[in-house]
Amino acid sequence: MARRSKQTESPETIERQWSPRVSAALLERLAARAAVSAVKKTIAIEAPFTGEVLGHVPHGAPADVVAACAQAREAQQEWARHSFAARAAVMLRFHDLVIDNAAEILDIIQLESGKARRHAFEEVLDVAIQARYYAHTAAAFLKPRRRQGALPLLTKAWEYHHPRGVIGVITPWNYPLTLAVSDALAALMAGNGVVVKPDALTPFSALWAAGLLEEAGLPQGLLRVVTGRGAELGEPLADGADYLMFTGSTATGRKVAGMGAERLKNSSMELGGKNALLVLPDASLRRAVPGAVCGITSGGGQLCISIERVYVHAAVYDVFAARLAESLRAVRLGASLTFLEDMGSLIGADQLSKIEGHVADAVGKGAEVLAGGKARPDLGPYFFEPTLLAGVTDEMDLCRAETFGPVAAIYRCDSVQEMVERANDSSYGLNASIWTRDTRFGRELAARLQTGTVNINDAYAATWASAGPMGGFKESGLGRRHGRQGIIKFTEAQTVAVERLLAIDTPPFLSHQQYATLMSAAVKLLKHVPLIK
Edge to edge, the sheet with strand 267-270 lists 223-225, 193-197, 166-170, 243-247, 267-270, 477-478
**pLDDT value, residue 124:** 98
Q: How would you write the pLDDT of the chain (533 residues) with one tens digit per residue?
A: 233 433 344 444 444 445 468 999 999 999 999 999 988 899 999 999 999 999 999 999 999 999 999 999 999 999 999 999 999 999 999 999 999 999 999 999 999 999 999 999 999 999 999 999 999 999 999 999 999 888 777 888 999 999 999 999 999 999 999 999 999 999 999 999 999 999 999 999 999 999 999 999 999 999 999 999 988 999 999 999 999 999 999 999 999 999 999 999 999 999 999 999 999 999 999 999 999 999 999 999 999 999 999 999 999 999 999 999 999 999 999 999 999 999 999 999 999 999 999 999 999 999 999 999 999 999 999 999 999 999 999 999 999 999 999 999 999 999 999 999 999 999 999 999 999 999 999 999 999 999 999 999 999 999 999 999 999 999 999 999 999 999 999 999 999 999 887 677 888 888 999 989 988 888 888 888 777 77
From the list 176, 205, 16, the residue with the least C-alpha distance to 108 is: 205
Q: How far apart are CA 530 and CA 533, in angstroms?
A: 9
Q: Give the strand pairing for 387-390 and 431-435.
A: unpaired
Beta-carbon contacts of residue 530 (< 8 Å; ≥ 6 apart)? none
First and final CA of the chain: distance in angstroms? 56
472 neighbors 450 (Cβ within 8 angstroms): no
Print the SS3 string covering 437-479: CCHHHHHHHHCCCCCCEEEECCCCHHHHCCCCCECCEECCEEC
- Beta-carbon contacts of 348 under 8 Å, excluding residues fewer than 6 positions away, are 46, 48, 201, 382
Query: 183 and 267 in contact (C-beta within 8 Å)?
Result: no
Catalytic positions, written as ranges: 270, 304
Whole-model pTM: value is 0.93
Report which residue type is found at 521. Answer: A
DSSP run (H or E) holding 488: helix 485-488
Q: How far apart are CA 73 and CA 266, in angstroms?
A: 18
Residue 332's closest CA among 4, 10, 7? 4
The Cα-based distances of 456 to 428, 445, 463 in angstroms read 19, 10, 9
DSSP string, 389-403: EES--TTSHHHHS--
Question: Contact at 8 Å (CB) between 305 and 460?
Answer: yes
With 0-12 CB in 10 A as exposed, 13-18 as middle and 19+ as buried, what is 94? buried
Rounded to an integer, what distance in angstroms lies between the CA atom of residue 400 and that of residue 184? Answer: 32
- Nearest one of 311, 325, 343, 329 to 436, comparing CA atoms: 311
Specify whether the CB–CB gap between 134 and 186 falls below 8 A. Answer: yes
User: What is the pLDDT at residue 20?
Assistant: 65
Beta bridge partners of 318: none
Domain ranges of the chain: 26-142+159-271, 275-475
User: Residues for the chain: how many in total?
Assistant: 533
Phi, psi (degrees; rounded to nearest 5) at 445: -65, -40
**Which pairing describes strands 473-474 and 368-371: parallel, antiparallel, or unpaired?**
unpaired
CATH of domain 26-142+159-271: 3.40.605.10
* Angstrom distance (rounded) from CA 429 to CA 490: 24
Q: Which pLDDT score, from 0 to 100, does residue 3 have? A: 34
The CATH number fitting domain 275-475, selected from 3.40.50.1370, 3.60.15.10, 3.40.309.10, 3.30.2090.10 = 3.40.309.10
What per-residue string of b and e applies to 443-481 under the rule 16 or more CB within 10 Å gives b?
eebbeebbbbbbbbbbbbbebbbeebbbbbbbbbbbbbb
How, if at all, do strands 155-163 and 145-147 pair?
antiparallel
Question: What's residue 504's pLDDT?
Answer: 77
